[in-house]
Homo-oligomer: A and B are copies of this chain.
């Protein structure tokens, strides 16, 4: 296709199977056919990033992966914590897109009270910065502590229950705060059950990456 853009995407969890590694990229390519997405992942973090410690050890790995990448128009860090996004913006000339900031921005389109639904006790930084005092409830899902816990029926059920709780607490929008929620493709199901908009982090990061690409001089 004319005007196709090459986008790099970093998964912050170690994945060996190419199909799973490429899953976020595949979602983005389906929604944004002008983007060609190549995915890479960090090594030795089978459970990804799920607290400050795991983020701290991931950041230098993400920076190393990013700095050696050539010939991409934009780079997505496919994690709601936006790890290394700030550092990479200072070091690289291409646009750096974080899942968290993209999801939080887009959430503002749909309401004034936000249910941030992730797997961490703390709300990721960008959601706090952008949605701030308008966040209701807590971010975590009881019994779900890593992206792997999402990948079974019990994890899925707990996410649905949490979304309903956040709605009951006044959320007009569910802002998903873990890209593992995109991996299990739960946003549309939550929307149908809760009957409020649900923002999928991988689609949100794809949207902002697309904007960055079309806005370049290319």
Residues of A at the B interface (CB closer than 8 Å) are 3, 31-34, 101-102, 105-106, 108-109, 130, 203, 207-208, 210-211, 214-215
Contacts and interface: CB of A to CB of B under 8 A. Distances in A.
Q: List the 10 closest A-B pairs by CB distance, nearest first.
A: A31-B214, A207-B211, A105-B108, A105-B105, A105-B109, A108-B130, A109-B208, A101-B109, A207-B207, A106-B211
6 contacts: A32-B214, A33-B34, A105-B105, A109-B208, A207-B207, A210-B210
A106 B109 contact: no
Contacts of A208: 109
Contacts of A210: 207, 210
B106 A33 contact: no
Number of copies: 2
Nearest to A213: B31
A75 B210 CA distance: 21
Interface of A is mostly: helix
Contacts of A130: 108
With a 10 A CB-CB cut-off, give which of A105, A211, A214 has the most chain B CB atoms.
A211
A33 B3 CA distance: 10
Contacts of A214: 31-32, 203
Contacts of A33: 3, 34
Contacts of A109: 101-102, 105, 208
A86 B214 CA distance: 29
A27 to B, nearest CB: 11
Contacts of A34: 33
Contacts of A207: 207, 210-211
A176 to B, nearest CB: 13
Nearest to A102: B109
Given A108-B108, A109-B208, A203-B211, 4 more contacts: A101-B109, A106-B211, A203-B215, A210-B210
Residue from A106, A210, A214, A215 with most neighbouring chain B CB atoms (10 Å): A215
Contacts of A106: 105, 211
A214 B32 CA distance: 9
Nearest to A3: B33
